């Protein structure tokens, strides 16, 4: 006792074992009480079942590029799994208000979570409960995991699978809005180019009706025939060929200009046609943006609460707090005794 006082140690026990032995009954009562109370609380906690969907994002989002474009790098392969960037995009869409609102509305989660519809903060409570029960996580393998906890195992599975389905419809809606705008622009340019090419073709047809079919060869042949007619003195042929040469001279340059321009415009029209077809495929086609590894199913065993863990942790924490309290109480009592003895000696 005196040694402890000299060393400034206010703990009255000479050993840890002596302390526990002296306070064994309170500690046993604390442990037993905590175990009983935590068991009751654990039994009152409603059971929840977990359903999980695991899926990989796809590498390519543009259907036309994946199906119609030659890509030797393999990055646009329709069967290629996505990487980190695509997984992060998938997580962002899964956490969107659009998917959350549709899930809450379809399964009437406001009522299912026992939230008062007249509550001023009903939406805040609903979204907080939603976030507690429905989580999204990227795995180490670049897949995305959707976990749904609910007291109804079948409902948990239905919600998880519905979220996976909404991923496609939400992303399709986002991309289709842009794809339709692109289609409208490309289609307008394609139709305009078609009209321009048709106008040139009509001009070529009129020039053909005037007698110009191939300026270079036609002018060469006609000139040769005209020279032969002059040599022979065939006036009838000379007059006929002279008229042909006049037509060639008058419209030949126009024919060549239209022909060259028509060739260029047809090349541009072919390119626009390809772009138009790609944009139309992107705007109208339906293709999944994910690979489902494991669809959700109704769990047979609960995942929460783990009652033995709750009881063990609660009992351990109670015993530790009890020990700390007893240490404080024991030291306080020791100090009081020492102060009392000091007072008697002084008197």
Per-residue pLDDT, 326: 78
CA angle at 97 for the pair 171 and 107, rounded to the nearest 5°: 95
Q: Domain for residue 270, yes or no?
A: yes
165 within domain boundaries = no
Place of tokens 């040599």: 231
pLDDT, tens digit (0-9, with 9 covering 90-100), for 304-319 = 666 677 778 888 888 8
**Residue 7: per-residue pLDDT:** 44
Distance of CA 323 to the CA centre of its chain: 51
- Whole-number Å distance between alpha carbons of 22 and 6: 23
- 210 domain-assigned: yes
* Domain-embedded: residue 107: no
- CA 248 – CA 176 distance, rounded (Å): 53
pLDDT on residue 81? 65
In a domain, 208, yes or no: yes
- The rounded distance, in Å, linking the Cα atoms of 285 and 67 is 11
Q: What is the mean pLDDT of the chain?
A: 79
Q: What is the distance of C-alpha 299 from the center of its chain?
A: 26
Do residues 5 and 338 touch, judged by C-beta distance below 8 A?
yes
Query: What is the tens place of the pLDDT at every residue in 144-155?
Result: 999 999 998 999
Q: Indicate if the alpha-carbon torsion angle 57, 59, 62, 65 is positive or negative.
A: negative
CA 291 to chain centroid: 13
Low-confidence residues of the chain, pLDDT below 70? 1-15, 42-45, 60-79, 81-82, 215-216, 218, 220-222, 226, 229, 234, 238, 241, 248, 286, 303-307, 341-347
Whole-angstrom Cα distance, residue 125 to residue 115?
7
Peptide bond into 207 cis (omega under 30): no
Residue 309 counted as domain residue: no
> Nearest Cα to 163, choosing from 96, 78, 83, 81?
96
Please tell me the predicted confidence (pLDDT) of residue 320.
87
pLDDT of residue 10: 43
**Burial of residue 179 (number of CB atoms within 10 Å: 0-12, 13-18, 19+):** buried
CA dist., res. 195 & res. 272, Å (int): 13
Question: Does a structural domain hold residue 290?
Answer: no
Q: What is the domain count for the chain?
A: 1
Supply the DSSP string of 147-187, one letter for each residue.
EEEESSHHHHHHHHHHHHHHHHHHHHHHHHHHHHHHHHHHH
Residues 134, 113: Cα–Cα separation, whole Å: 13
Expressed as residue numbers, the domain containing 213 is 189-284
Q: Does residue 69 form part of some domain? A: no
Specify the pTM: 0.62
- Which residues are registered as beta bridge partners of 50? 149
Question: Which of 294, 291, 297, 295 lies closest to 90, judged by CA?
Answer: 291
């Amino acid at each position: 006792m005196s040694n402890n006082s000299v060393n400034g140690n206010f703990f009255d026990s000479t050993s840890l074992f002596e302390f526990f032995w002296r306070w064994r009954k309170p500690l046993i009562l604390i442990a037993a009480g905590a175990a009983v109370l935590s068991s009751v609380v654990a039994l009152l906690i409603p059971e929840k079942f977990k359903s999980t969907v695991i899926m990989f994002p796809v590498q390519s989002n543009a259907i036309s590029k994946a199906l119609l474009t030659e890509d030797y790098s393999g990055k646009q392969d329709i069967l290629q799994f996505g990487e980190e960037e695509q997984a992060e995009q998938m997580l962002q869409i899964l956490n969107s208000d659009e998917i959350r609102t549709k899930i809450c509305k379809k399964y009437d989660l406001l009522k299912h979570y026992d939230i008062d519809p007249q509550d001023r903060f009903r939406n805040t409570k609903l979204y907080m409960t939603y976030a507690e029960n429905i989580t999204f996580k990227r795995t180490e393998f670049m897949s995305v995991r959707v976990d749904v906890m609910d007291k109804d195992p079948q409902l948990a599975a239905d919600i998880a699978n519905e979220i996976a389905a909404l991923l496609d419809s939400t992303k399709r809606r986002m991309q289709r809005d842009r794809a339709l705008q692109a289609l409208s622009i490309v289609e307008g340019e394609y139709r305009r180019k078609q009209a321009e090419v048709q106008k040139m073709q009509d001009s070529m047809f009129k020039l053909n009706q005037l007698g110009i079919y191939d300026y270079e060869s036609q002018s060469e042949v006609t000139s040769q025939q005209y020279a032969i007619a002059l040599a022979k003195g065939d006036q009838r042929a000379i007059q006929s060929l002279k008229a042909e040469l006049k037509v060639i001279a008058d419209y030949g340059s126009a024919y060549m200009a239209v022909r060259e321009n028509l060739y260029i415009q047809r090349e541009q029209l072919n390119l626009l046609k390809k772009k138009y077809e790609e944009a139309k495929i992107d705007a109208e086609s339906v293709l999944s943006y994910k690979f489902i590894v494991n669809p959700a199913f109704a769990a047979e065993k609960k995942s929460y609460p783990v009652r033995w863990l709750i009881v063990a942790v609660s009992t351990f924490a109670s015993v530790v707090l009890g020990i700390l309290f007893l240490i404080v109480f024991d030291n306080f009592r020791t100090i009081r005794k020492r102060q009392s003895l000091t007072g008697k000696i002084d008197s």
